[in-house]
Structure 1
């Protein structure tokens, strides 16, 4: 693996929170960061912020609960930056409150994102 200042790093859920902070930390060291998340506007701002910190950044809107989109994310990262050195599965969410106060659809989406995002990302990052 290349050093962090010369690595290509894919980070899922990279539009906010600790996920964005992780991307920014790699960018400060000059890494090429591939940022994946649902919200295009936040993702594009995150990419601009990472570039301002010294990294190269690529925003790839991705729903990691969709295996085809996750594979396309990897393909795009590899074609733009020549490969992937680090894959950070960090997309996820949580819901707070009494169970009966959270819609079943919302709970189902939470489980899909947290479980499928990690499984699909790990499978994709490990190769064909």
Structure 2
């Protein structure tokens, strides 16, 4: 069901909620970017216990240049710390082994630690154009 929902334009994700009691029902919620996308999804995903919701505010990705700068800030920190701490220890390793080790470590840290942290810290700057466009002109 989640695979089917994710194929719909405007699908933002799913939430699976465990029952409050052992006998209670599990709840699966599909989120969509707007009412139109939710209606299109509802036609194909409806069932006796199916719920689709529309996100009230449009989700727009930040400009690529902002994402590039945010990624640079994260990569720089990881590279400095990783190479500073591990560089001397890995110096005797063959080049391919060093690169594979650092690439695995850095990509894991970027995915699970730095990207969420940097995005959280920079969220107002990253999404500034999106939020002002939604709010309309100031007086």
TM more than 0.5: no
Tell me the TM-score range normalised by the shorter chain: under 0.3
| TM-score, scaled to structure 1 | 0.26
| TM-score, scaled to structure 2 | 0.25
Q: Bigger relative contact order, structure 1 or 2, given CA contacts below 8 A and separation 6+?
A: 1
